[in-house]
Amino acid sequence: METTSIDQEINASEQIISPEALLTHWQGHRKLTRKVIEAFPEDKLFSYAVGGMRPFGEMLIEIMDMANDGMDGIVTGKWKAIHDLDHASGLSPVKTKDQALQLWDQVTEQINQAWPQISPQRFLQVEAAFGAYEGRIVDTIFYFIDNEIHHRAQSYVYLRTLGIEPPAFWDRY
């Protein structure tokens, strides 16, 4: 069997994160985001915002769509286009806090089930995520995680302006 440069890369001794560690990292952040959803008053999740931005409920749908459709794309190699992601997700509509939490847990399971189907080689393949964003699969996954951290942090400001103390940033258990 021929050794490709990708094989050489993943076999190199200087790699420092395993797929399992990356999954734990992501799901740790997702546990914190779930606590933030719980901290929101029911009537504020889809209506309240600061600075002309979106309510956190809308950001949540983006985060869940990205994870849901993203894992599908990573496992199958077939990506929904951006347009479909924005406007026609199978996950929507989500209109209440309970629905958001239920869907959150569904996506948690979906990620856990998809993960073992991603080979070490697959993580290092370069592909246009959602037909648009070219990068290695592992970097696409970091984009999902970082985008979640980013929007969750904005919701921390929303909560603070409502007089609610958000969960601690390190509380990912």
Interface residue with a second copy among 97, 138, 144, 167 (CB under 8 A) is 138
Interface residue with a second copy among 4, 11, 47, 102 (CB under 8 A) is 11
Binding mask 114-133 for a second copy (x = CB under 8 A): ------x--xx--------x
The 3-state DSSP class for residue 129 equals strand
Cα-based angle 159, 164, 169 (whole degrees, multiple of 5): 70
> What's the N-to-C CA distance of the chain in angstroms?
43
Q: What type of residue sits at position 105?
A: D
Burial of 79 (0-12, 13-18, 19+ CB in 10 A): buried
Interface residue with a second copy among 38, 42, 50, 92 (CB under 8 A) is 50
Site for a second copy in 53-82 (CB under 8 A): 53
Binding mask 29-48 for a second copy (x = CB under 8 A): x-------------------
Cα-based angle 8, 12, 18 (whole degrees, multiple of 5): 110
Interface residue with a second copy among 58, 62, 84, 139 (CB under 8 A) is 139
**What are the angstrom distances between the C-alpha of 118 and each of 112, 122, 124?**
11, 6, 10
Cβ of residue 124: shortest distance to a second copy, in angstroms? 6
Interface residue with a second copy among 10, 81, 126, 128 (CB under 8 A) is 10
Sign of CA dihedral 63, 68, 70, 74: positive
In angstroms, the CA 162 to CA 59 distance is 18
Cβ of residue 161: shortest distance to a second copy, in angstroms? 4
Cβ of residue 106: shortest distance to a second copy, in angstroms? 24
Residues at the site binding a second copy, with contacts judged by CB under 8 A: 9-19, 21-22, 25, 29, 50-53, 120, 123-124, 133, 138-139, 142-143, 146-147, 149-154, 156-161, 169-170
